[in-house]
Amino acid sequence: MVQCVMPDAGVASVAGVPVAQACADLLDLLAGVSDGRSSQGRDHPAAVVLALVAAATVAGMTGYTAVAGWVADVPQATVTDLYLRAGALPVGRPSRSTLWRVCTDTDAQALDTAIAAWTTARRPGQSPAPQDTDEQAPELPPTDLLRLDGKTVRGAVDADGNQVQLLAALAGTADPATPAVVIGQTEVTGAKTNEPACARDLLKTLNIEGSTVTADALHTVKATAELIHQRGGQFVFPVKENRRALFDALDALPWQHTPIADSRIDIGHGRITRRTIRVLPAPPGLPFPHVNQVWLIERYVTDTTGAHLSAAAQLGVASHTPQQAGPAQIAAINQGHWAVESLHWIRDTCYREDQSRVRTRSGPRVLASMRNLAINALRLAGRRDITEATRWAGRNMTRPFAILGITS
């Protein structure tokens, strides 16, 4: 199962907050996230500002001006409660410049850790942690898939003028009816070719024992497969020409004489899609570690009249033995990877992320983290259409706070 590994395993805390308390309350978790400001003479605690930004994001706000306008309309009783719970006297709502300053100076990695801990505690099957104890971090409920995928925030750049690239880890099951939520995010430093190394760093912060990791072909590298195997996980990876030796070895196998092991037909959006999979045992001498099965998935798309629209084939490797995952399961795992791409599509269409022009050190990543948190919270609340869910949440000023669990 996928599980957040908290810092200092011997100490049950996240960012200095006891795990049991932190995972139960988002405001407490955010209290451990620094924005670099001195606490002396500070009117607006970072935890309160970040909580207000999170609630505004749940309501669908997409930029600092929209967030500031929404925060200005938050009921005074809610604002007062947040400040008092954060140990500060209410002094009015934070201005747009304060919202901007806190978000751009926030420790982005600490924020992502806090979001992961909060999400972990609320996933289906996870009981709330008891209060005021020194228990270790609660485990995530059983999960099948951990999908990795990178995304470039196209309109935003960092302080050095580079486009911001973020890598997300989306946890869920093969059942599309269960909510898939982000439990980790990291920034890809340097060129996109550094993404696999950043993915391994992210995987090291997660307990992936018993889970299956999926990713695109960029991540089909030996070092990643070794790490997943060492940590007790499995993998299903596609193989393309960027791994030429491996691709050639798979492409040379007798696929034409291998029977179709499973097929599936999907009808929707005026198209008929037929997917087939052929599976073989891993051949001796395959230049990739810990592979037990290799596969060929073919996809044929026609319109409802039978006219041909497209055809595609994909080779791949799986670490599962046939007893651990049969052809139908491998096909479902491969197809299920689309969920993380869907997450990025939601951030673009609902929150217009690629239109963002944030040009600060941490701003793009922090706002992306807030969007991940909002999508997580709405999905965990049973809302599947995120665009409509933000409209629903925005029609009542108390709903976003209730969804985030930060109302007293």
Distance CA 119, CA 291 (A): 32
CA angle 127, 131, 133 (to 5 degrees): 105
Question: In the beta sheet, which residues pair with residue 4?
Answer: 206
By the 10 Å C-beta count (0-12 exposed, 13-18 middle, 19+ buried), 348 is classed as middle
DSSP assignment of 309-371 equals: EEEEEEEEEE-S-TTT--HHHHHHHHHHTHHHHHHHHHHHHTT-GGG----SSSHHHHHHHHH
pTM over the 0.85 mark: no
Distance CA 68, CA 247 (A): 52
> What is the per-residue pLDDT for 256?
95
Question: In the beta sheet, which residues pair with residue 277?
Answer: 262, 297
Tokens 């696929």, residue located: 255
Query: Minimal CA–CA distance to 33: which of 140, 156, 116?
Result: 116
CA 94 to centroid of chain Cα atoms? 29
Helix intervals (H) in 195-337: 195-203, 222-230, 244-251, 327-336
Query: Minimal CA–CA distance to 377: which of 122, 138, 143, 142?
Result: 122
CB neighbours (10 Å) of residue 90?
14
Number of H helices, E strands in the chain: 15, 13
CB 212 within 8 A of CB 189: no
> What is the per-residue pLDDT for 19?
40
Distance CA 172, CA 167 (A): 17
> What is the per-residue pLDDT for 134?
37
* pLDDT-flagged residues of the chain (< 70): 1-24, 37-41, 124-143, 154-162, 176, 354-363, 408
For 124-143, what is each residue's pLDDT tens digit? Answer: 654 333 333 333 333 333 34
Distance CA 216, CA 340 (A): 11
> What is the per-residue pLDDT for 10?
32
